[in-house]
């Protein structure tokens, strides 16, 4: 009972110490992933709010890979917003999927980016988690690009990276962000199921045309 009380006291104390910046990033981050899972175009402007908050927060906590990733997210959020609008105007198929060659390219890109980022962070920054940060950054980089192109398997990558991010943020004492990424994991599963349903429906419609 004492251990249980101490655990909950620890959570309450960490949540109480959470900065307003992390609250902004957390709430807007949850909202944008939920909207993305629903294929709602408003996920992109909401994502921009989360990106600004987390870029500052991650830099303060020496998660330099993640901080730099937010700059990339800013660009892809603007691009994704434009691309989704354009696809809607052209009435194109909303969701596509990677085939064998695409999987190979994504896998190789993930490995190479992880090693390069890990090496760079290890040698040129004061981070104490260079390769963990590098891996999460690399996979997020690829997953975000696939999301802007409405590729179904982006959600599989997000599931993988969310599983890795939770212990990383706990290690960095970012309790609220760790909770957020636990919720992201559930939303990523939901996003995959909903996008797969949308993809299958579009394939059925195309086959009957």
**Segments making up each domain of the chain, as ranges:** 20-208
Tokens of 155: 């959600």
Q: In Å, what is the CA distance from 62 to each residue of 151, 167, 206?
A: 31, 16, 49
Measured CA to CA in angstroms, residue 101 lies from 104, 105, 106, 139, 153 at distances of: 5, 6, 9, 18, 13
Q: What number of CA atoms fall less than 13 Å from residue 131's CA on the CB side?
A: 4
pLDDT at site 172:
81
pTM: 0.78
Span 16-35, average pLDDT: 83
Backbone angles phi, psi at 125, to 5 degrees: -135, 175
Given a contact cutoff of 8 angstroms between Cβ atoms, the answer to whether 199 and 96 are in contact is yes
Does pLDDT of 204 surpass 50? yes
What would the pLDDT profile of 79-105 be if each residue is shown by its tens digit? 888 888 876 655 565 788 888 888 899
- pLDDT, tens only, 135-188: 998 999 899 889 888 899 999 999 999 999 999 888 887 777 788 889 889 989
Q: Judge whether 32 and 47 are in contact, CB under 8 Å.
A: yes
Residue 9: pLDDT band (50, 70, 90) is low
């Amino acid at each position: 009972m004492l251990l249980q009380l101490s655990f909950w006291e620890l959570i309450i104390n960490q949540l109480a110490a959470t900065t307003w910046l992390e609250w902004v990033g957390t709430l807007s981050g949850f909202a944008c992933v939920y909207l993305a899972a629903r294929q709602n175009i408003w996920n992109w402007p909401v994502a921009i709010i989360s990106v600004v908050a987390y870029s500052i927060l991650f830099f303060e906590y020496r998660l330099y890979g993640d901080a730099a990733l937010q700059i990339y997210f800013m660009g892809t959020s603007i691009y994704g917003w434009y691309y989704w609008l354009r696809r809607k105007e052209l009435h194109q198929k909303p969701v596509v999927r990677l085939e064998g060659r695409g999987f190979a390219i994504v896998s190789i890109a993930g490995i190479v980016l992880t090693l390069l980022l890990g090496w760079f962070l290890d040698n040129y920054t004061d981070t104490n988690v260079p390769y963990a940060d590098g891996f999460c950054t690399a996979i997020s980089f690829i997953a975000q690009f696939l999301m802007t192109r409405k590729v179904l398997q982006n959600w599989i990558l997000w599931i993988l990276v969310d599983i890795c991010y939770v212990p990383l943020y706990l290690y960095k004492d970012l309790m609220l962000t760790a909770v957020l990424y636990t919720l992201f994991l559930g939303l990523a599963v939901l996003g995959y199921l909903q996008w797969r349903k949308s993809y299958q429906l579009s394939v059925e419609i195309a086959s009957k045309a």
